[in-house]
Amino acid sequence: MTKLFETGEPQDITAVLESKDARVAFQKQLVADYLDASILAVKLNIPGPIKNNDQLHRGFNHGLLSLIQSLQAGDADVKLVAQWDKPTGNEAFLTVAGPLEAVKRQAAAFEDQDAFGRLFDVDVFGHGQATALSRTKLGLPVRKCFICGRPAKECARSRRHSVSELQAVIQQVFDQEFKGEAGTVNDNE
């Protein structure tokens, strides 16, 4: 089996923080450019130094398409504004015609729909606000840790689980999502 984290350019904290700064600046520009839209910033939650490779890119595109289809199922006008394929990870920015709260609920439902959706982080902001709308503000449950079920932010902050433990779970999720498909992480079995 091809391992998900065997290839890719290792990233250090400086590169990750520079990418975050670029994302924040771009998001502010989107808020100014799309005053009447909900804006989604989509990325994968990938622990460790490998943030992108062909398999992670393919998985990101697969999930992004699923998210767009779920938004469009509610008759929303969805536009892909930008998509980044950087060594620090894949990111996409969408605009959606619709109220911020309703779009956040749809994004949270996508994140919670299954194990693969849980790999995604979808921030929703816009309508003049550059700060992402939180789940708790809408009375939605916080995201749960893949491994122990505690609040994910609590585990991330305390580093309760090792990178290798988290990567093993992500490997399993990818294997399950792409089971039996050509060009997947399971091709070499």
Topology at the third CATH level for domain 13-141: Alpha-Beta Plaits (3.30.70)
- The phi and psi torsions of 121 (rounded to 5 degrees) equal -120, 115
pLDDT digits (tens, 9 = 90+) for 138-156: 999 999 998 998 999 999 9
Q: Determine the Cα–Cα distance for residues 35 and 127; give it in Å rounded to an integer.
A: 5
CA dist 9 and 143 (Å) reads 28
Q: Classify residue 133 by its DSSP letter.
A: P
- Other CB atoms within 10 Å distance of the CB of residue 13: 8
| Structure confidence by residue, pLDDT tens digits, 39-51 | 999 999 999 999 9
Return the closest-CA partner of residue 65 out of 45, 32, 30, 92: 92
Which residue ranges make up each domain of the chain? 13-141
